[in-house]
Amino acid sequence: MTSGGEVLDAFRLTVRDTAPDLVVAHSNAGLVAPAASGGAPVVFVDAALPAPAGPGAMAPEPLMARLVALADERGLLPPWTQWWDESDVAPLFPDEATRRRVEGGQPRLPLRYFSSEVEAPTGWEGGPHAYLAFGGTYAVELARARRLGWPTRVLDGARHLHHLHDPGRVARAVLALAGAARAGRDDASSPGPV
């Protein structure tokens, strides 16, 4: 994939073919989820949020500056686990076998992917959406979700790939948030035991 638009098109095809009743978007996938969801509720999991409407960048300025410095002479980036210090990356994985599996599937994306824009549909923020944060990395997005009245939850002590560490707990939190979003509640911050 070389642009956000290509990712959006691929996700739209998947949604069209599967007709899901819930979309779960992690990390950068959050930027295309509302446009690709086909109207299904979206639970954003430690994810970026698109613009309220219209075009939005696939990477915020601070990240873009980092990526420009990492790109090689052909404009290719190293796999994403090489974008950060090892001391930050290692704890994201529960064990070496999981890390090897994830790293084995990492593409080398072109820098132009992150400088591309993707179109957010008008009014998407009013949909039945929810936000699950793993700690404070996406604090700005979490605050925006709260301002919008979405159900939210924070798994304290979790890191960006917490679903690899505790998939059952993450799945229960996602389902509780999805239920609260469908019911139009914003009280899923304590959805029971997870």
Domain ranges of the chain: 1-57+117-194, 59-115
For residue range 100-123, what is the model confidence (pLDDT) as tens digits?
Answer: 999 999 999 999 999 999 999 999
Provide the token pair at 61: 């300025």
For residue range 14-30, what is the model confidence (pLDDT) as tens digits?
Answer: 777 777 899 999 999 99
DSSP state of 48: -
CA 64-42-37 angle, to 5 degrees, is 85
Judge contact between 166 and 93, C-beta under 8 A: no
> How far is the C-alpha of 109 from the C-alpha of 106, rounded, in Å?
9
Residues 6+ apart with CB under 8 A from 29: 7, 11, 47
pLDDT at 96: 97
State what percent of residues in the chain have pLDDT above 70: 94
DSSP state of 25: E
For residue range 58-100, what is the model confidence (pLDDT) as tens digits?
Answer: 998 889 999 999 999 999 999 999 999 999 999 999 999 999 9
- Dihedral sign of CA atoms 80, 83, 85, 86 in order: positive
pLDDT at 41: 93
pLDDT at 173: 97
Q: Decide: pTM greater than 0.95.
A: no
H or E stretch covering 67: helix 61-70
CA 16-20-22 angle, to 5 degrees, is 135
Confidence band of 174 (pLDDT split at 50, 70, 90): very high
